[in-house]
Amino acid sequence: MTTKPLSLHEPVFAGNEWSYVKECLDTGWVSSAGKFVDRFETDLARVCGTRRAVALVNGTAALDLALRLIGVRAGDEVIVPSLTFLATVNAVAYQGAVPLFADVEEPTFGLDPDALEAFLAAETETRGGACVRRGSGRRVAACVPMHALGRSVRLEPLLDACARRGIPVIEDAAEALGSSYRGRPLGSFGRAGVLSFNGNKIATTGGGGALVTDDEALAARAKHLSTQAKSDADAFWHDAVGYNHRLPNVNAAIGCAQLEQLDGFVARKREIAAAYRDAFAGTALSLFWEPAGSRSNFWLNAVLARDAETAARVLKSLRARGVGARPMWAPAHLQPMYRDAPRAPLPVTERLWRTSVCLPSSASLTDAQVREVAAAAVEAAAG
């Protein structure tokens, strides 16, 4: 159909990337200190509406640090969706904690606040100020909602269910930079939010991530741990087991240029989503749209088919035509490392996984390409 295969997501470097990177090379400030790191953190905090942003080496490291900093410890349980990129769940395991899988809901592909409330009400109790799951006797130490494909979780009831039990929330907003819920940026609702600037995300630093928060002490601690917890850098004294999780200045330079273009990326993504929606209107496939009360960056688009066989046919047919369509993430509770992890019933997770297909969504796509992809998908769905 097209001469060049359409990839799922391609970065766009149309702004000041070259000149900012050149400045790093010309001045020798290529590593983990430099003005672009500081500027990236300031710019990012502004975009996210938080007091602080801490630039980190990737989103996975940011999740790891966030969970450690809010006090998740070995033997705790952490509520996570099973329908997510596995990094969300691995970050729980890094603490020696156990993921507690909860189901998602169709309108958001994210944690279902009503199902979670019912589960917590039936299965947990408060003991000595902590929320404890009766079945395991373990503390439920955190909840990590993930904003799937840039669409917002129904945050109000979710935050409420967690707050009433003293469960801190870390938002996995890795896919949701530029999205908002009730007019407020995603990533700014929990104790901290986590972002990713991997090459496939809406804005990239090559590889990169960040932790955003209103909590100054938490941000300072994140910065400290990410720089090997140096207490006296000149004499090489350290006061904790830290990491080298800093974002290099060269990467931050790319990020500064990308953030300058973020509004444009989001605007184009929204046009692409609208073009998909129009092309799928009245067909057997429906586009994963924007949940009520939220504004999505439409980072990636996905269609839902009526059954698993239809979705598999659509995926196979698009791929045969050189379209870089992809299945949704295989659920975490089916991965070998997490098969024995505790869980609530996960019927929606398994259904959405089997019936959805992710479609090319690069900001560089033309409307004509979107219509071609959609027409091919509709034809495949019809059998």
User: Per-residue x/- marks for ligand PLP, 33-72, CB under 6 A?
Assistant: -------------------------xxx------------
**In the complex with ligand PLP, which residue's Cβ is closer, 132 or 192?**
192
How far apart CA 297 and CA 285 sit, in angstroms, is 21
The distance of closest approach from Cβ of residue 64 to ligand PLP in the complex, given in angstroms and rounded to an integer, is: 9
Residue 87 CB, nearest distance to ligand PLP (Å)? 4
Among 50, 196, 213, 362, binds ligand PLP (CB under 6 A): 196
Closer of 103 and 172 to ligand PLP (Cβ): 172
Out of 81, 209, 248, 360, the residue judged to bind ligand PLP by CB under 6 A? 209
SS3 assignment, position 303: strand
**Measured between alpha carbons, how far is 140 from 350 in angstroms, rounded to an integer?**
24
Q: How far apart are CA 145 and CA 161, in angstroms?
A: 12
If binding means CB under 6 A, how many residues of this protein chain bind ligand PLP? 14
Place of tokens 């999740």: 63
- Say how far apart CA 303 and CA 299 lie, in whole Å: 14
156-185 residues in contact with ligand PLP (CB under 6 A) are 172, 174-175
- Nearest alpha carbon to residue 331 among 144, 98, 94, 86: 86
Facing residues of 209 across strands? Answer: 56, 196
Chain positions 82 to 141 lying near ligand PLP, rule: CB under 6 A, are 84-85, 87-88
Helix (H) / strand (E) containing 277 = helix 262-280
Q: How far is the CB of 306 from ligand PLP (least distance, A)?
A: 26
- Answer yes or no whether residue 254 interacts with ligand PLP by CB under 6 A: no
Name the residue with tokens 């090379």.
25
Phi-psi region for residue 77, left (φ > 0), alpha (ψ -120 to 50) or beta? beta
Looking at the Cβ atoms of 43 and 175, the one nearer to ligand PLP is 175
Residues forming the site for ligand PLP (CB under 6 A) = 58-60, 84-85, 87-88, 146, 172, 174-175, 196, 198, 209
